Chain A
Amino acid sequence: MAKRKRREPRAGEQSPAGVDTPPPRRRSGLRSEARFLITFALVLAGSFALLAWRPVNDGLVEPFTGLVARASGVALRGLGQEVVRSGTVLRTARFGVNIRNGCNGVEAMVILLAAIVAFPAHWRARLLGLAIGGLAIQAVNLLRVVALFLTGAYLPRFFDAAHTVVWQSLVILSAVLIWILWARRVAPRPAVAA
C-alpha cells in the first residue's frame, strides 16, 4: 500500500498527536514580510516609472486604454446605449466620458504584478496568476466603466462618488482578492514529514 504523505501542520497548529510543530527553516535572515514588501515596493516603483515614461505611455498605455474604451463601447451598445467612440472618449447624446490613465485598470494590474513577483512561487505559477488575474481585473474594470457611464447618464449626482471612491476601491480590492486567492494556492508549505 502506498504510503500517504501527511501535510505538516502550519505554524501555530498542533499535529494530530497534539505535539507542537517546530518552526520551518528560513531561507535567509531577512523576515519574509520585509523581503516581500521591499520587492513589492521596488517592482511597483519600477513599473510605474516605466509606465510614466512618455514612449511607453504613448506606445503602450494609450493604445491599451483605447482597447478598454472599445470594449466598453461594445458592452454599452449591447445594453442599448447609442454610444459613439472616438479614441478613448465614449459619448451619447446624454453623457460622455474620457477614459484616462487611472481608469484603465492598469494600476490594479501593476499592483497585482508587484505582489505576485514579490511572493515566493515558481515562475510558471506567477505567469499563470498574472494572466488570469489580469483578465479578471480587466473584467471588473469593464464593469466599472459601463456602470460609471450609466451612473453618469442616469444618476449624475452620484457620478463623482462612484468614480473616485466606490469603483476605484472595488478595482483595487479585486486585485488584492485575486492575489490572496492565488497566493493561498501557491504558498510554499512547510516540509513534509518523512
Chain B
Amino acid sequence: MIFREVEDRDLIAKARQGDVEAYNLLVSRWEKRIFNYLLRLVSNREDALDISQETFLKAYQNLRKLDDPARFSAWLFRIAHNEAFSLLRRRKPESELSEPRPRDFGGRLLPIELSLAVESALKVLSEDQREAVLLKVYQGFKFDEMAEILEIPVSTVKSRLYTALDLLKATLAPAVLRKGGLA
C-alpha cells in the first residue's frame, strides 16, 4: 500500500532537493534487489554489500543527472553493473586460477540441493552470460532495458542470454529429469 501512495519519482524529486529520508526510503525499496544481483555476480557477500553501498552513494550524488525518473531502475542497475565489473576486473588474475566446475548431485534433488545445483551452474557461466541471466530471469528486465544497462545492442544481449540458457539447460535439465522432477 505504501508503494502506491508514494511513487519512486516523488522520492527522487525530494531526494534531488537534499531530502535524505526520502532517499533512504528509495534505498529500502531497491537494496534487496541490488544486493542479490551483485551477490550472484561477484559471489561474495561482503563485496556485494560494499558495492551495494557504493552504488546507492553514487546514485545519490548523481541523482540530478538522471534525465527520466521513470528509468530509475535501469539507471541504478547500470551503476551497480559498473561498480561490480570494476571490482571483477581488479580481482581477475585471482579468479582465473580457480575455474568452477558444475557439481554432480547423486541422489534425489531436494530443494536445497537444487538451489546449490543452480548456484553451481551459474558460477560456470562467464561473467557476461551470468549477468544476462541475472538481469532477465531474476530481475525481470526486458531485452531493451538490459541493452541500456549493459550498453550493448539487443542482439548481443540475446546472444549472451541464449548461450547461457543452453549451458544451464545442459547442466540442470538432465539432473532434474533424471531424479523425477523437482522435489
A and B assemble together: no
Q: Residues of B at under 8 Å CB distance from A?
A: none
Q: Residues of A at under 8 Å CB distance from B?
A: none
